[in-house]
Structure 1
Amino acid sequence: MQPTPAWAIEAIVQAGRRMDARGWVPATAGNISVRLDERRIAITRSGGHKGFLDADGVMQVDLQGRPLTAGKPSAETLLHCQLYRLFPGVGAALHGHSVAATVLSMAGDRPIRLAGYEVLKAFEGQATHDVALELPVFANDQDIARLAAAVEPVVAAGSPLGYLIRGHGVYVWGPDMPAALARLEGLEFLLACELERRRLER
């Protein structure tokens, strides 16, 4: 097996530090991946703190989530693999556990509607703030294969924002790591605004 490229390790390490600095990956939460080629991805190992990653915290799996290098991949590896299988243009995927994402995901059973925010223009295909986008929310499930099966038809139909797992966190993706990070940052800003707005409306 080819060693994990230095660029992939560096991309994951730097993403982990950025997410940690913003409070999006507390303790050992979250996971980060990049596509290596049409058969392999690099992903964070299970149990490591994303703010203190190094080369030992990154491993390779195939697109079915099977380890290709030593170590135990993240428990949610199949959700990353799903994105790479569904979308050939995806080059990076991120999963975080911010306060806003976690709390809002538990506020009800419906998708979270985000409307009127200028930052919505940062997302692909949006040219105005005068738009409403829905962020899908899925019930949490410790059976990741079953969770992936519930997620797939919704994500495959197209989601401009990403999706939430109830009481758990957010998934986003992009053509490369900078794009995925920008998508996560924009979505986290919107979720923080939405959480604060709901407080003010009480």
Structure 2
Amino acid sequence: MSIDPAPAATLSEAAREIVEVGRFLSVRNFVPATSGNFSRRLDARTAAVTRSGVDKGELVEADILVADIHAPPPKGSSAETPLHLQLYRDRPEAQAVLHTHSVVAALLSNLRLAEGELVLQDFELLKALGDTRTHEAAVSIPIFPNDQDIPRLADKVTAMLAKRTDLVAYLIAGHGLYTWGRSMAEARRHVVALEHLLTYELEKMKVRR
């Protein structure tokens, strides 16, 4: 099935969306200090990305850079920007990518790293993820070991995405969550839903000890 391309966004529109989501996620402590990075597709060739070293709750339009999806990241952007650009190349429908650093995402991804994935099932909130339409679904979130070699990590993610067209997120162990959506609103919804589900899984592990 072909996917109709989303209308192009202007840099000003994208910056406004990024600034707003930064404030939203910051007050929930999903991006402490200067952690995390966000992006918004502009068109088939370019994306707006956050500048490195900025508190995401205090972003302004000047902190938003333009990146060529098929070129090296712009100067001043996060070292992890290639992971965003790779997602736009691999997922033409993706319009926004959000990377967060919550305690629960870092902790649970470390605890489940040996399994290579976190399987979420029988939650009503699964219906907030992508095209999932029933709580009876099982949603697998891959977990990758943390790696300072970002191109190597991006290659691993690309290989997984090629096999898993259903994916809407992945975890990096001890690091955080990457998720994306067909709009900034959908990407934000994925963050909120996954943070809740990850918290539930972590609490369940405590109860069972």
Q: Is this a same-fold pair by TM over 0.5?
A: yes
The match for 1:49 is 55
| Structure 2 counterpart of 1:105, from 109, 118, 130 | 109
The match for 1:179 is 186
How far does the alpha carbon of each residue in 1:22-81 deviate from its partner, in whole angstroms, 9 at most, with x for none?
A: 11000110000001111111000111110000012111111135355xx41111000000
How far does the alpha carbon of each residue in 1:114-149 deviate from its partner, in whole angstroms, 9 at most, with x for none?
A: 111110122233222122221100011101001101
- Residues 103 and 67 of structure 1: is their aligned pair in 2 closer, same or farther, counting only changes over 3 Å? closer
Give 1:161 shift.
3.6
The match for 1:190 is 197
Q: What secondary structure is seen at the aligned counterpart in 2 of 1:148?
A: helix
Kindly indicate whether the alpha-carbon contact (under 8 Å) linking 1:31 and 1:74 is maintained by their aligned counterparts in 2.
yes
Q: Map of 1:48-197 to 2, 5 A cutoff?
A: 48-67=54-73, 71-108=75-112, 109-110=114-115, 111-157=117-163, 158-197=165-204
The match for 1:201 is 208
The TM-score, its normalising length taken from structure 2, stands at: 0.90
- Supply the AA of the counterpart residue of 1:44: T
Kindly indicate whether the alpha-carbon contact (under 8 Å) linking 2:168 and 2:181 is maintained by their aligned counterparts in 1.
no
Q: Give the fraction of aligned pairs with identical amino acids, expressed as a percent.
A: 44
Alignment gaps of 5+ in structure 2: 1-9
Moved more, 189-198 or 155-164: 155-164
| 1:23 and 2:29 matched | yes
Give 1:9 shift.
0.8
The TM-score, its normalising length taken from structure 1, stands at: 0.93
Kindly indicate whether the alpha-carbon contact (under 8 Å) linking 1:33 and 1:80 is maintained by their aligned counterparts in 2.
yes
Q: Structure 2: how far apart are the matches of 1:125 and 1:115?
A: 15
The match for 2:4 is none
Q: Structure 2: how far apart are the matches of 1:64 and 1:166?
A: 27
Alignment gaps of 5+ in structure 1: none
Q: Structure 2: how far apart are the matches of 1:40 and 1:91?
A: 11
Give 1:159 shift.
4.0
Q: Structure 1: how far apart are the matches of 2:120 and 2:93?
A: 25
- Residues 99 and 178 of structure 1: is their aligned pair in 2 closer, same or farther, counting only changes over 3 Å? same
